[in-house]
Structure 1
Amino acid sequence: MTYLLAGDLGGTKTLLRLVKADSPDRSEFEQLYKSQEYTSLVSIAQKFLAAAQTHLGIEIQIQIACLAIAGAVIDRASYLPNLDWHINADGLQQALKIPHVELINDFAAVGYGIAQLPPADLHTLQTGQERQNAPKAVIGAGTGLGEGLLIHNGTDYQVIPTEGGHTDFAARSIQDFEFVQYLCRQLQIDRISNDRVISGRGIVAMYQYLRDTSNLSENPEIASVVKLWEAQIEKLVDPAALISAMAIAKTDPLSQATMQMFISAYGAEAGNLALKILPYGGLYIAGGIAAKNLPLLTDGTFLAAFNHKGRISDLMGKIPVRVILNPQVGLIGAAAQAARLGFGL
């Protein structure tokens, strides 16, 4: 039996899945690992393969592995900036004894996964006017910010990964300009990228900014978590989840203001991406933050910022905007691409 290994590697978690070559849409075994608890992907993969053999009770021979990486893939290698991992496909082939290992950008994997999702895994924010074979775009905030494109080549969609999440954050108001200055002082840097703002750490940064510059009082529960986060070098606790939960529950005005500022920035950058490709095939919002904060994405703040593009705002309303609810879309896409590679080998 020919097995394939699919993986989705991010700054927070690494998810690995074993599938059969003739049924890549069905998981035979999968495990989730906290990325920051390991020093390399090899150690995670070796642990996973040992657990898979124990679970299935047979010796497993993997022919192809397709691994989605939260970083640029150049010459079959990648560096994960949020983990300080260097990954090399040839090295993985030798260490794991897998004949063929392919590394792809994590948002390329999301692009491959979109076609595999049933309608129930998507939530429509804006219906728009979808056009057949038109370009598609993907954006997703999590540990960082990812962006990708899909272009139809006459037969199928070609996935084009980008590092668009590391473009400059565009301030749109006096508050935004003051926030950028605040963050530059806090981090002692002279440039702020979208990756620093439209991400989990961006939520915390906006909370800190509003805490320090507004008259909104701080909730003691959140304050204790944020102080612990500020004191930690490796950031083992994440206040962003608590902040967003308080905002959804409408129990903390500071958290609500934070998330409104964040969702607006998210919508604006999604709109910026859409302007550059005009994805009338759909703009898809991936990443862990969107699905977990759907009530905040559907209150109008996101679409107001997305569509607010001056003289060409009317164009934006024609673009379908959908939230991907399935958190494993990248893994699904990696498995689909592994099967496609197997077909071509």
Structure 2
Amino acid sequence: DIGGTNLRLAIFDGNIQIKKQTFSTTDNPELSLTIQKFIDEKQLLGGCIAIAGPVSRENGDETVTLTNQDHNTQYSSNQLSQQLKFKCRFINDFEAIGYYIISSPSNCLTLQDNPTQNGPVVYLGAGTGLGTGFIVNEAPQPSEAGHTRFAVETLLEFEFQQFYLKEFQVNHLSNDRVVSGRGLQMLIKFLQQKTPQYVLQSHNHFEKYFLDLKESQKCFKDQIGDDVVQVSQQAPSNRYARLVMALWFSWYGRFVGDMIVTFCAGELYIAGGIIEKNLELVQSEIGEIMRDNIKRKGRLSHMPQNVRINIITEQDAGILGC
């Protein structure tokens, strides 16, 4: 299971996992060498490789380039099979999540409890990037819906958009760049010179949760850390960090609602490392803010209100899907 940050490998004998190890994706661009080191001359029958990028299938070969890595290495299933001396198949990393879901997973929490409706099962998750997919007739389908454009609603969001575009010298700000670890890092950077008063004036639909900060003109840079790990760890006890996470999770909720409406979903699963690492926040008022934004769909608000929403808490969902 190869994402933008972690490269997770496991060996199974039937349904029994006999070895597992996690590597850094950035530090291990040579996939065949990493796998050979991991399997340590064990004789394997085959391999399923889930990779965070769209898989192209042509002339009996499967090729993919990691979307959120700078080294731009293109991987070929035929080439990897020759190097490893066993057959390898490539699938999209969120296609693997889909296979995990159809196995009736037990490691899930309910964010919104409703009966399952008619319609496809949709799943998504924020980590290094923003993965998406859907299931029709028990068949997982990959999707790149995370690369749809981030929809600006407020003056703060417009200023954040312009800040982001200028920082990276790009002309398209996707949800993948915002509802992700990279997006949270950029939000923290953007807010350093801003105040809670500025945030809550722009996003007054959740100011009721932060009345103590409503008039605060203290800059975030003096109150919180400057990276994702610090702010996430501070959020349970630091009101300024908590407000940053609330704003980011409101955007996460908005995208979840978009996916429900787009696919006329019957059920939705949320995966990914960020929500799994912040379950305490999601079970607090920040979860309420997220749910409120899931439902803010105007004339179609009834659609996300009626959908069952689950959170996958299994760290190895991608591996198990493979």
TM-score bucket (shorter structure): 0.7 to 0.9
Distance 1:118 1:160 in 2: 18
Q: How does 1:67-106 map to 2 (within 5 A)?
A: 67-75=49-57, 76-83=62-69, 84-98=72-86, 100-106=87-93
Match of 1:28 among 18, 22, 28: 18
Equivalent position of 1:169 in the other structure? 150
Amino acid at match of 1:143: T
For normalisation by structure 2, the TM-score amounts to 0.86
Q: Alpha-carbon deviation of 1:117?
A: 4.8
CA 1:95–1:221 in structure 2 vs 1: closer, same or farther (change >3 Å)?
A: farther
Asked if 2 retains the 8 angstrom alpha-carbon contact of 1:260 and 1:301, the reply is yes
Q: Secondary structure at the match of 2:319?
A: helix
Query: Contact 1:10–1:70 (CA<8 Å) still a contact in 2?
Result: yes
**Corresponding residue number in structure 2 for 1:232:** none
TM superposition shift of 1:179: 1.1
- Cα distance in 2 between the residues matched to 1:67 and 1:265: 30
How many Å apart are 1:66 and its aligned residue?
A: 0.5
C-alpha distance in 2 between matches for 1:64 and 1:82: 26
Q: Are residue 315 (structure 1) and residue 308 (structure 2) matched?
A: no
Taking the TM superposition and a 5 Å limit, the aligned residue runs for 1:237-252 are 239-247=227-235, 249-252=236-239
Is the CA contact (8 Å cut-off) linking 2:194 and 2:219 kept in structure 1?
no
8 A Cα contact 1:116 1:332, kept in partner:
no
SS of the residue 1:78 aligns to? strand
Structure 1 runs, 4 residues or longer, greater than 4 Å off:
218-223
Q: Counterpart in 1 of 2:168? A: 187
**Which residue number corresponds to residue 116 of structure 2?**
130
Deviation at 1:36, TM superposition (A): 1.1
TM-score w.r.t. structure 1 length? 0.81
1:1-345 matched pairs, under 5 angstroms: 8-20=1-13, 23-24=14-15, 26-50=16-40, 53=41, 60-75=42-57, 76-83=62-69, 84-98=72-86, 100-119=87-106, 121-131=107-117, 134-152=119-137, 157-214=138-195, 215-218=217-220, 223=225, 226=226, 239-247=227-235, 249-253=236-240, 255-280=241-266, 282-298=267-283, 299=285, 300-334=288-322
Aligned length: 292
CA contact 2:48–2:91 (8 Å) conserved in 1: yes
Q: Which runs of 5+ in 2 are unaligned?
A: 196-216
**What letter corresponds to residue 88 of structure 2 in structure 1?**
V
Deviation at 1:218, TM superposition (A): 4.2
Q: Which runs of 5+ in 1 are unaligned?
A: 1-7, 54-59, 227-238, 335-345
State how far apart, in whole Å, the 2-side matches of 1:252 and 1:46 are: 47
1:43-64 Cα offsets, whole Å, 9 max, x none, are 21111011xx5xxxxxx22121
Instruction: Tell me how far 1:312 sits from its aligned partner.
Output: 1.4
Q: Work out the CA distance in 1 between the residues paired with 2:10 and 2:104.
A: 17
Is the 2:32–2:80 Cα contact (8 Å) retained in structure 1? yes
Residue-by-residue CA offset, 1:183-226 (whole Å, 9 max, x unaligned)? 11222222211111011111111111111233443466954xx3
Displacement after TM superposition at 1:167 (Å): 1.1
Cα separation, partners in 2 of 1:163 and 1:118, compared to 1, 3 Å: closer
Deviation of the 1:257 alpha carbon: 2.1
Larger RCO: 1 or 2 (CA < 8 Å, sep 6+):
1
Q: What amino acid maps onto 1:123 in structure 2? A: L
- Aligned-pair RMSD on alpha carbons? 1.7
Q: Secondary structure at the match of 1:170?
A: coil
Query: What is the Cα deviation at residue 297 of structure 1?
Result: 2.2
Letter of the 1:160 counterpart: Q
Q: Shift of the alpha carbon at 1:130?
A: 0.8
User: In 2, are the aligned partners of 1:206 and 1:261 still within 8 Å (CA)?
Assistant: no
* SS of equivalent residue, structure 1 residue 306: helix
Task: List per-residue Cα deviations over 1:21-54 (Å, max 9, x = no partner).
Answer: xx23x2011111111112221121111011xx5x
Cα deviation code 1:244-300 (max 9, x no counterpart): 1111x22251x22221111000010011011011221x1000000011111222320
Question: Structure 1 CA distance, aligned partners of 2:220 and 2:253?
Answer: 26
C-alpha contact (below 8 Å) 1:263/1:296 kept by paired residues: no
Instruction: Indicate the SS of the match to 2:306.
Output: coil
User: Partners in 1 of 2:128 and 2:218 — Cα distance?
Assistant: 27
- Separation in 2, partners of 1:41, 1:278: 38
Distance 1:18-1:171 versus aligned 2 partners, 3 A rule: same
